[in-house]
Amino acid sequence: MSATTKRLRGLANMVRDAVDHGSTAIQRVHLATAARPFRVLEAVPAVRDPAKVAHTVYDAVVSLTYANVRLVNRAVGLGIDLALDEAEKHEPDPEAHSTHERPPESGPTQ
């Protein structure tokens, strides 16, 4: 594996992890922020039941959306891994294509 391929794999893994962890963190903030007004509405007897339904549906849709972001992230990551695997197969072998011969080793001089 060439140094370039190693760097590309490392970069791809970093981006994949950043998207995964970032989307999870944003999801938590998103749900927590939306929960505040839902709690207020759920405390009002006249709208309690519909507010609970709306809150449940809202949380499910938000969670599904962020889960899909992470799913696509993993799929793209697998695609990148496959592309890099294929690219590795076509990398020149530095040992096989060496045009420079090693100079003969010189023994001790007298």
User: Would you give the end-to-end CA distance of the chain in angstroms?
Assistant: 44
- For 34, the token pair is 């939306």
Q: Global pTM?
A: 0.75
| pLDDT at residue 54 in the model | 98
Q: Is 73 part of any domain?
A: yes
Task: Give the model confidence (pLDDT) of 49-92 as tens digits.
Answer: 999 999 999 999 999 999 999 999 999 999 999 999 999 888 88
Band (pLDDT 50/70/90 cuts) for residue 103 is low
Q: Is 109 part of any domain?
A: no
| Domain extent at residue 12 | 3-89
Q: Is 67 part of any domain?
A: yes
Q: Is 99 part of any domain?
A: no
- For 19, the token pair is 């998207």
- The total number of structural domains in the chain stands at 1
- Looking at residues 20-26, what average pLDDT do you find? 98
| Largest CA-CA distance found in the chain, in angstroms, rounded | 106
DSSP states of 28-56: HHHHHHHHHHHHHHHTSTTTHHHHHHHHH
Q: Is 100 part of any domain?
A: no
| pLDDT at residue 105 in the model | 64
The CB density around residue 52, as the number of other CB atoms within 10 Å, is 13
